Chain A
Amino acid sequence: MDRIIRAYSRLIESNLDRPELVKSLIRFGLEVGKVWVDHFNRNGIPPSLRYLNSICFQFILEPLRHPENSGFVNLLAPAEILHSMDIYPMFIEAYSSFVSGFYCEDIFIDRAESRGLSGTLCSYHKTFLGSLEYSVLPRLKFAVTSSILCDGNSNTFKYISKSYKIPYYIVDVPYEYSEEAVRYVTSQLREMISMIESATGRRFDIDRLREVIRTENETRGYQRLCIERLKDHSMPNTLTFEMYKLFVTHPEMGRKETLEFFKLLSEDVLKYPDGGYRIFWVHILPYYLYPVQKHLNFNDEFKLIGSDLNFDYLEDLDEKRPLEAIARKLILNVNNGDFRRKIENIKRLVTDLRIDGVIHFCQWGCRQSFGGVMLLKRELEKLNIPFLIIDGDGVDRRNSPEGQINTRLSAFLEMLTGRGKR
Chain B
Amino acid sequence: MTGYVCKYTPNLIIESFGDRTLRIEPEVSSCEIADGLTHPNMCSYARLVLEECLGKHIDKIVLVNCCDAIRRLYDILKAEPSVKFIHIVDLPRKRDVIDRIRFKNEIIRLIESYQKSFDVNFSAEALRNLLNSSVSTTKKEYGDINIAIIGGRSRRSLEKMIEEFGGNVIYNLTCTGTVPPFRPVGSLFDPVEAYADILLDSYPCMRMDDIDERLDIIEEDKRIDGVIYHTVKFCDLYSYEYAMIRDRIRVPILKLETDYTDNSEGQVRTRVQAFIESLKRDSNKRMVTVTGRKDIVIGIDSGSTSTSAVIIDSNKSILGYSIVPTGAKSIESAEKALEIALKSAGISKDDASLIVATGYGRVSIPFANLEVTEITCHARGAFFLDNSVRTIIDIGGQDSKVIRIDENGNVIDFIMNDKCSAGTGRFLENMSRVLDIPVDRMGEESLKWKEDIEISSMCTVFAESEVITLIAKNKEKSDIIHALNKSITRRVASLIEKVGGVKNYMMTGGVAKNTGVVRCLEEKIGEKITVPKEPQIVGSLGAALSGLEKLSDKIDF
Q: A28 at the A/B interface (Cβ < 8 Å)?
A: no
Could you tell me the distance between the alpha carbons of A366 and B497 in the complex, rounded to whole angstroms?
Answer: 26
Could you tell me the distance between the alpha carbons of A174 and B89 in the complex, rounded to whole angstroms?
Answer: 10
Could you tell me the distance between the alpha carbons of A151 and B458 in the complex, rounded to whole angstroms?
Answer: 26
Q: Determine if A118 and B68 form an interchain contact, defined as CB atoms under 8 angstroms apart.
A: no
Q: B494 at the A/B interface (Cβ < 8 Å)?
A: yes
Q: Determine if A398 and B456 form an interchain contact, defined as CB atoms under 8 angstroms apart.
A: yes
Could you tell me the distance between the alpha carbons of A202 and B444 in the complex, rounded to whole angstroms?
Answer: 65
Identify B69's interface contact among A176, A187, A362, A371, CB under 8 A.
A371
Q: Determine if A172 and B240 form an interchain contact, defined as CB atoms under 8 angstroms apart.
A: no
Identify A362's interface contact among B39, B76, B102, B211, CB under 8 A.
B39
Q: A158 at the A/B interface (Cβ < 8 Å)?
A: yes
Q: A155 at the A/B interface (Cβ < 8 Å)?
A: yes
Given contacts A116-B242, A365-B236, contact A172 B76 (CB under 8 A): no
Q: A388 at the A/B interface (Cβ < 8 Å)?
A: no
Among A34-42, A135-143, A267-275, A372-380, the one that faces the other chain is A372-380
Identify B76's interface contact among A154, A366, A375, CB under 8 A.
A375
| Residues 163-217 of A at the B interface (beta carbon under 8 Å) | 170, 172, 174-176, 180, 184, 187
Identify A367's interface contact among B88, B234, B257, CB under 8 A.
B234
Q: How far is the CB of A107 from chain B (nearest CB, A)?
A: 11
Could you tell me the distance between the alpha carbons of A339 and B209 in the complex, rounded to whole angstroms?
Answer: 24
Identify B239's interface contact among A117, A370, A374, A378, CB under 8 A.
A117
Q: Determine if B38 and A374 form an interchain contact, defined as CB atoms under 8 angstroms apart.
A: yes
Q: In the complex, which residue of chain A has the Cβ closest to the Cβ of B229?
A: A116
Task: Kindly list chain A residues whose C-beta atoms are within 8 Å of the C-beta of B494.
Answer: 110, 113-114
Q: Determine if B88 and A362 form an interchain contact, defined as CB atoms under 8 angstroms apart.
A: no
Q: B555 at the A/B interface (Cβ < 8 Å)?
A: no
Task: Kindly list chain A residues whose C-beta atoms are within 8 Å of the C-beta of B207.
Answer: 151, 154
Q: How many A-B residue pairs have CB under 8 A?
A: 136
Task: Kindly list chain A residues whose C-beta atoms are within 8 Å of the C-beta of B233.
Answer: 120
Q: Determine if B76 and A158 form an interchain contact, defined as CB atoms under 8 angstroms apart.
A: no
Task: Kindly list chain B residues whose C-beta atoms are within 8 Å of the C-beta of A120.
Answer: 41, 233-234, 236
Q: B75 at the A/B interface (Cβ < 8 Å)?
A: yes
Q: A147 at the A/B interface (Cβ < 8 Å)?
A: yes
Q: Determine if A180 and B102 form an interchain contact, defined as CB atoms under 8 angstroms apart.
A: yes
Q: Determine if B236 and A180 form an interchain contact, defined as CB atoms under 8 angstroms apart.
A: no
Identify A172's interface contact among B71, B93, B105, CB under 8 A.
B93
Q: Determine if A370 and B206 form an interchain contact, defined as CB atoms under 8 angstroms apart.
A: no
Could you tell me the distance between the alpha carbons of A378 and B90 in the complex, rounded to whole angstroms?
Answer: 27
Q: How far is the CB of B373 from chain A (nearest CB, A)?
A: 22
Q: Determine if B41 and A339 form an interchain contact, defined as CB atoms under 8 angstroms apart.
A: no
Given contacts A120-B233, A121-B236, A340-B75, contact A170 B68 (CB under 8 A): no
Q: Determine if B239 and A172 form an interchain contact, defined as CB atoms under 8 angstroms apart.
A: no
| Residues 272-316 of A at the B interface (beta carbon under 8 Å) | none
Q: In the complex, which of the residues B36, B42, B243 has the most CB atoms of chain A within 10 Å of its own CB atom?
A: B243
Q: How far is the CB of B50 from chain A (nearest CB, A)?
A: 10
Could you tell me the distance between the alpha carbons of A175 and B106 in the complex, rounded to whole angstroms?
Answer: 11
Given contacts A116-B255, A158-B240, A159-B244, contact A373 B39 (CB under 8 A): yes
Total count of chain A residues near the partner, CB < 8 A: 51
Could you tell me the distance between the alpha carbons of A172 and B255 in the complex, rounded to whole angstroms?
Answer: 30
The digit string for B446-464, where 1 denotes a CB below 8 A from any CB of A, is 0000000000111000100
Q: How far is the CB of B82 from chain A (nearest CB, A)?
A: 16
Q: B421 at the A/B interface (Cβ < 8 Å)?
A: no
Q: Determine if A367 and B42 form an interchain contact, defined as CB atoms under 8 angstroms apart.
A: yes
Q: How far is the CB of B401 from chain A (nearest CB, A)?
A: 16
Q: B513 at the A/B interface (Cβ < 8 Å)?
A: no
Q: In the complex, which residue of chain A has the Cβ closest to the Cβ of B468?
A: A403
Given contacts A120-B41, A175-B88, A184-B102, contact A371 B72 (CB under 8 A): yes
Q: Determine if A401 and B462 form an interchain contact, defined as CB atoms under 8 angstroms apart.
A: yes
Could you tell me the distance between the alpha carbons of A367 and B233 in the complex, rounded to whole angstroms?
Answer: 12
Q: How far is the CB of B548 from chain A (nearest CB, A)?
A: 36
Could you tell me the distance between the alpha carbons of A116 and B236 in the complex, rounded to whole angstroms?
Answer: 10
Q: Determine if A154 and B239 form an interchain contact, defined as CB atoms under 8 angstroms apart.
A: no
The digit string for B223-259, where 1 denotes a CB below 8 A from any CB of A, is 0000000010111110110111010000000010100
Q: A422 at the A/B interface (Cβ < 8 Å)?
A: no
The digit string for B206-228, where 1 denotes a CB below 8 A from any CB of A, is 11010100000000000000000
| Residues 255-304 of B at the A interface (beta carbon under 8 Å) | 255, 257
Q: Determine if B209 and A170 form an interchain contact, defined as CB atoms under 8 angstroms apart.
A: yes
Task: Kindly list chain A residues whose C-beta atoms are within 8 Å of the C-beta of B102.
Answer: 174, 180, 184
Could you tell me the distance between the alpha carbons of A375 and B462 in the complex, rounded to whole angstroms?
Answer: 28
Q: B37 at the A/B interface (Cβ < 8 Å)?
A: yes
Q: Determine if A176 and B90 form an interchain contact, defined as CB atoms under 8 angstroms apart.
A: yes
Q: In the complex, which residue of chain B has the Cβ closest to the Cβ of A366?
A: B68
Q: How far is the CB of B204 from chain A (nearest CB, A)?
A: 12
Q: How far is the CB of A166 from chain B (nearest CB, A)?
A: 15
Q: In the complex, which residue of chain A has the Cβ closest to the Cβ of B65?
A: A175
Q: B343 at the A/B interface (Cβ < 8 Å)?
A: no
Could you tell me the distance between the alpha carbons of A122 and B99 in the complex, rounded to whole angstroms?
Answer: 29
Q: How far is the CB of B410 from chain A (nearest CB, A)?
A: 23
Q: B364 at the A/B interface (Cβ < 8 Å)?
A: no
Could you tell me the distance between the alpha carbons of A117 and B452 in the complex, rounded to whole angstroms?
Answer: 30
Given contacts A117-B239, A340-B75, A365-B236, contact A397 B456 (CB under 8 A): yes
Q: In the complex, which of the residues B75, B93, B490, B497 has the most CB atoms of chain A within 10 Å of its own CB atom?
A: B75
List the 7 closest A-B pairs by CB distance, nearest first.
A371-B72, A118-B239, A368-B68, A339-B75, A370-B39, A116-B243, A121-B236
Other 4 A-B pairs with CB < 8 A, given A151-B68, A366-B68? A116-B255, A175-B65, A368-B68, A370-B39
Residues of A participating in the B interface, judged by any CB pair closer than 8 Å: 110, 112-118, 120-122, 147, 150-152, 154-156, 158-159, 162, 170, 172, 174-176, 180, 184, 187, 338-340, 362, 364-368, 370-375, 378, 391, 397-398, 401, 403-404
19 A-B contacts (beta carbon < 8 Å): A110-B490, A116-B239, A117-B236, A118-B231, A151-B237, A155-B236, A159-B244, A172-B209, A175-B65, A175-B88, A175-B90, A176-B90, A368-B68, A370-B38, A370-B39, A370-B41, A372-B75, A374-B37, A374-B38
